[in-house]
Structure 1
């Protein structure tokens, strides 16, 4: 629990905004304001959190009780809202991805570089129990040198309904890659301690979004009508990411694919490997030994599922504000690296060739 009084303003009062507000209130922060264009959402949020509500982010940022702003809007608005908040001296937690385009992400990073407040980005899966246990064993040398990560975030059928902002390229910037693939890329790079990415090759596909006969047994995308809506984003992506030192990442991300759903990560090391699901609380360590006789030496670990990645991320955001220490996780530099990889995957797909990142600009470094 934090001891300092921190006033939180939430921009975007949908499910994600309410989740952040609930987490931070439980950690001792005060939810003082919320902003959304939809009157019903403002009314509900105001009643739930006893907070002032506004129909614009500018009005929320100007509220004297606001110390930090959480941005949970469609991707296109991450930059303008975060910039206004940072320039007003507020701290910012912006949901993933950093922005809808690389150019927008770079502009935001430049503002954050000189801002008084901190800026963190909402990659919560690295704080789940499976990932934190992996971190601890990695620090003890259990896996040796990490060489490859197989990263999966694949739904069998799970396309957001046509007409939502998720399938609008102007608002989202892309499809499955920017929605869920971004989580897999971040977690894979985080697992490898964010090595320098030197080359990316990828293919982005639009297969199901324009299919009048799209089968959606679980009703993930309600009111499906392929004829009535425009669908110009990717619904699956395959990519290979090559890092300095020979480390590699293979990525499979998809809203819809004719295969079983999977959120599995397979991490290969020279001494042992690991298997876990994104956001889960279990970890399997995969090894072999000659002790006594040649045998496989695997271990099944079960972590504390009561602390979620979302909650731990929000706790760390508040802790960073309270201590005044520069963030060591969920940094804007890491998010900008992820954004560059996403941009390179799209460029590779469009050009039909691999894309080199060795000559790309270095990540923005904070100077304050």
Structure 2
């Protein structure tokens, strides 16, 4: 593997491609880390590029309007990719082939085939490739992961996970709601977070088949738009919307377990609801969050001790979020852990999402093979 630094101080030089909310989370994380310097940005919006460049002290000559210029400039060692989904694969592959380590936003890519090209590029170049699943860095998820690993719940045979929004279509008419740019709707956007969280907690079982359905009942009518800042509805009476706004899937797991997954951008519900629930032979557990009128978060673990019902209260660390994802990525780069961090785990999620969309389109169960 090539050396991860190219300057005498040993400082990692970082770049970020994509100037939206996600890209800004990466910028902020790099700016907080010791031994890392944010030295380059790339994005299509000149005003935002100038503003963020000034904010993070990026020299004008390293503010690029075209991502390919940043990749070719030989000015960074690591790069974050926070572009629309359809660009994750081409940008990542080009960066890996240029000798850079890459942290890409989720979802890994708009298709499983595109995600495979990213893994192939990481392997042939012996570079680190990570995908930013920031929600698995939540404190309650990390705490529950330890509980599962301890064996307290026994064998987990059934799980449910979902993220349902009341009104949360991210920009009606934006790239999020266009199949050609996003690859899909809430399953691709927020459902993949819950899929990642569930499989992470379950110990990475293989998904052997998927049976799924998708619906588009709000977006095509111009309803269900997010009211929040960067994701608020775009202008125009007729939204450009050709993805689903709800997806539900029944996933069979290796070893006989099952996972029920659902995600939606808009529903007639009182408030946003997120959850992951685990059913084990010796105990059960659930994480829930959402909110109205006040945000709530709950972690519950139920079992028995000497025949007496017991509810456990584990220590819950602070949330890691994007900062922890970027920290883990930088640590993998410094450790030369390219074999362990080649994107394979995220590729498995991309294959599951592919199977769900295929099942919905064909109205039948789809096998993911061995």
Q: CA deviation at 1:227?
A: 4.6
- Give the deviation of 1:302 after TM superposition: 5.2
Question: Following superposition of structure 1 onto structure 2, how do residues 6-155 of structure 1 map, counting pairs within 5 Å?
Answer: 6-28=12-34, 29-51=36-58, 52-155=62-165
> What is the correspondence of 1:162-177 to structure 2 with a 5 Å cutoff?
162-177=172-187
Farther-moved stretch of structure 1 (224-233 vs 123-132): 224-233
2:317 corresponds to = 304
Q: Per-residue deviation at 1:281?
A: 7.5
* Counterpart in the other structure of 2:247: 237
Q: Secondary structure at the match of 2:334?
A: helix
Q: How does 1:149-298 map to 2 (within 5 A)?
A: 149-212=159-222, 214=223, 218=227, 222-223=232-233, 227-260=237-270, 261-277=272-288, 283-289=299-305, 291=306, 295-298=308-311
> Conserved in 1, the CA contact under 8 Å of 2:168 and 2:224?
no
Could you tell me how far 1:148 is from its partner in structure 2?
A: 1.6
Which of 323, 334, 350 does residue 361 from structure 2 map onto?
Answer: 350
CA distance in 1 between partners of 2:86 and 2:252 (Å) = 28
Give secondary structure in 1 for the equivalent of 2:181. helix
Taking a change above 3 Å as real, the CA distance of residues 74 and 224 of structure 1, as seen in their structure-2 partners, is closer
Do 1:125 and 1:278's aligned partners in 2 also have CA atoms closer than 8 Å? no
Measured in 1, the distance between the counterparts of 2:227 and 2:116 equals: 38
Q: What is the alpha-carbon distance in structure 2 between the residues aligned to residue 216 and residue 46 of structure 1?
A: 30
Q: 1:62 offset after TM fit, Å? A: 2.3
RMSD of Structure 2 on Structure 1 (CA): 2.3
**Counterparts of 1:321 and 1:278 in 2: how far apart (Å)?**
33
Q: Are the structure 2 counterparts of residues 56 and 226 from structure 1 closer, same or farther at C-alpha, using a change threshold of 3 Å?
A: closer
* Alpha-carbon distance between aligned partners in 1 of 2:20 and 2:235, rounded to the nearest angstrom: 24
Alignment match, 1:362: none
Aligned partners of 1:281 and 1:303 also within 8 Å:
no
Change (3 A) 1:215 1:35: closer
Task: Tell whether the 8 Å contact from 2:140 to 2:299 is kept in structure 1 after alignment.
Answer: yes
Name the SS for the 1:274 alignment partner. strand
* Alpha-carbon offset, residue 103 of structure 1: 1.9
Candidates 313, 316, 325, aligned match of 2:328: 316
Corresponding residue SS for 2:358: helix
Structure 2: gaps of 5 or more residues: 291-295
Aligned residues: 352
**Whole-Å Cα distance in 2 between the matches of residues 58 and 108 of structure 1?**
16
Q: Secondary structure at the match of 2:220?
A: coil
Q: What is the alpha-carbon distance in structure 2 between the residues aligned to residue 74 and residue 278 of structure 1? A: 27
In the aligned structure 2, how far is the partner of 1:233 from the partner of 1:198? 25
Alpha-carbon distance, 1:122 to partner = 0.9
| Alignment correspondent of 2:293 | none
Contact 1:199–1:355 at 8 Å: present in 2 too?
yes
C-alpha displacement of 1:223? 4.3
What TM-score do the two structures reach when normalised by structure 2? 0.89
Q: How far off is 1:222 after superposition?
A: 3.5
Specify whether residues 278 and 187 from structure 1 end up closer, same or farther in structure 2 by C-alpha distance, changes over 3 A only: farther
Q: How far apart, in 2, do the equivalents of 1:86 and 1:296 lie?
A: 52
Secondary structure at the residue paired with 2:192?
A: helix
**Deviations, residues 15-65 of structure 1 (Å, cap 9, x unaligned):** 211111111221121000000011011101210111121011121112333
Judge conservation of contact 1:25–1:31 (CA < 8 Å) in 2: yes
Runs of 4+, deviation exceeding 3 Å: 215-227, 277-282, 326-329
Work out whether residues 155 and 255 of structure 1, in 8 Å CA contact, stay in contact via their aligned partners in 2: yes
Q: How far apart are residue 210 of structure 1 and its match?
A: 1.6
